[in-house]
Amino acid sequence: MRTSVIPFGPQHPVLPEPLQLKLSVEDEVITEAVPALGYVHRGLEGLARTRDFHQMVQVAERVCGICSVLHAICYCQGVEAIMGIPVPYRARFLRVVWGELLRLHSHLLWMGLFADSFGFESLFMQLWKIRERILDIQEATTGNRVISGAIRVGGVCRDIDARQGRWVTDQLAWVEQQVRQIEPVLTDDFTIRRRTVGKGVLTAAQAHELGAAGPVLRASGIAQDIRQTGYAAYGELDFEPVTATAGDCHARCMVRLGEIHQSIDLIGQALTRMPEGELRAKVRGRPQGESLMRVEQPRGEVVYYIRADGGIYLSRVRIRTPTFANIPVLVKLLPGIYLSDVPVVVLSIDPCISCLER
């Protein structure tokens, strides 16, 4: 049987980012997938040598707009660990609020693209309409729709007062109502189930062996979530990782759908339990030492390794993103499926090439 090699990307039918997959195809069935990366490398890690450790917060936020707040939180926690800075409790709760708003934004954006990958344009528009409300909340509470700019070394630079907190709660109640109206389509629609159930199955053993991260890992039945370590204010909040067991595209969608409801609940808890107090601790001196910090992004665990030699510039910032962990998973999932299912399986891991290629 003749084998054809088809380039899938970097100009994509499903992704706005340049990931190329060289697909070997026999009779419409994928036999091999080879990823090609490196189209948008920007050298952001190297800026640590020319931007001081305060300015690097803004660089970290711009690694990826969809993950911006959580990149900033992870970076700041790394610097705070080196310098021994005690972050005020109110600032920790505010970080949770903005981090979970970002998770809502990311998951709703992904679900819209996922619907688009199998032709549900109306569902795509409905999900992105809901996402707009999350961006409105982000703008009202931080001043910006995407890159918030609210996270600082030592805490945060903005606050959410009681009146604004009640407004946020009301807006999120509307978001949850809208998501629950759409939920039966995602869970039960015949066409969606036909395109997703049993497609791109990843077993728990494979997920563990390949080092999968985030919803991709949890959809295979492994209840691992870095938020359980209690960073920021997560140790003060009640939640359990959202999991599924099927390990297919539909299960990965269901995990993200469950995390939308979970994020709304966590924001409500954080606003209710948020203590009074300062927003930012004083930052004295310069960092000297090294740290390894982990945070749960919408796509999974992100790791920041930071090394400082006592100057205003950091000597090393190394970022390991969840998409980097999930690309080997994608290469494992593609062989054996039909070419028509490739967009759905690719979207199911929620690749973020902006995060991957710093």
With a CB cutoff of 8 Å and minimum separation 6, the contacts of 195 are: 118, 249, 341, 344
Residue 210's Cβ-side half-sphere holds a number of Cα atoms within 13 Å equal to 25
Is 349 among the annotated ligand-binding positions?
no
DSSP class per residue in 142-163: HS-SS----EETTEES----HH
In what helix (H) or strand (E) does residue 255 lie, and over which residues does it extend?
Answer: helix 249-273
Inter-residue long-range contacts of 107-111, CB under 8 Å, 24+ positions, other chains counted: 107/256, 107/257, 107/259, 107/260, 107/263, 107/298, 108/134, 108/260, 109/66, 110/256, 110/298, 110/347, 110/350, 111/186, 111/253, 111/256, 111/257
Q: Which two tokens stand for residue 42?
A: 């920007």
Question: CA 317 to CA 33: how far, in whole Å?
Answer: 31
The three state secondary structure string of 65-82 is: CCCHHHHHHHHHHHHHHH
Query: Cβ distance 279 to 90 under 8 Å?
Result: yes
Is 61 among the annotated ligand-binding positions?
no
Question: CA 53 to CA 87: how far, in whole Å?
Answer: 17
Is 253 among the annotated ligand-binding positions?
no
Is 236 among the annotated ligand-binding positions?
no
SS3 297: strand
Is 64 among the annotated ligand-binding positions?
yes
Question: CA 231 to CA 39: how far, in whole Å?
Answer: 34
Is 355 among the annotated ligand-binding positions?
yes
49, 190, 245 from 20: Cα distances, Å: 31, 31, 29
Which residue spans within the chain are E strands per DSSP?
4-8, 20-26, 29-36, 151-152, 155-156, 288-297, 300-309, 316-320
Binding-site residues for Mg(2+), in ranges, read: 45, 319
Binding-site residues for Ni(2+), in ranges, read: 64, 67, 352
Binding-site residues, in ranges, read: 45, 64, 67, 319, 352, 355
Binding-site residues for Fe cation, in ranges, read: 67, 355
